[in-house]
Amino acid sequence: MVQIQDIMKDQKTWLFLGGVAVGAAAVTILGSKAARDLAIAGLAQGMKMRDDAEAALSSIKEEAEDAYVQKFRTLAGDDDGKCPPAEIEVKKIEM
């Protein structure tokens, strides 16, 4: 016959009971208003970081295109602020 003392000595039993305890604690904690507010704040911060990264990438893209065009204007001797000469193809950077 199996006794309770034998069951409590088994490592798998303790792992199972620990998993049940962690699951119950997680449900309680994640269901709280504080956890919800924290998740919303984290999501908002992530969205702000994404928008900042997109703005920085756009700025870098514009500066790179300007530098590329300026390089060919200087090479062609055309520095009047217009587009590069027709024989030079300006490559567009895709995002």
Tens of pLDDT along the chain (95 residues)?
566 766 677 778 888 889 999 999 988 888 888 888 998 999 999 999 999 999 999 999 999 888 888 887 776 665 555 555 555 555 666 65
Question: Domain map of the chain by residue range?
Answer: 11-76
pLDDT at residue 55 in the model: 94
In 1-95, where do the E strands start and end?
none
Full-model pTM: 0.47
Does an H or E element contain 82, and which? Answer: none
Distances (CA, A) of 1 to 5, 6, 8: 11, 10, 15
pLDDT at residue 48 in the model: 96
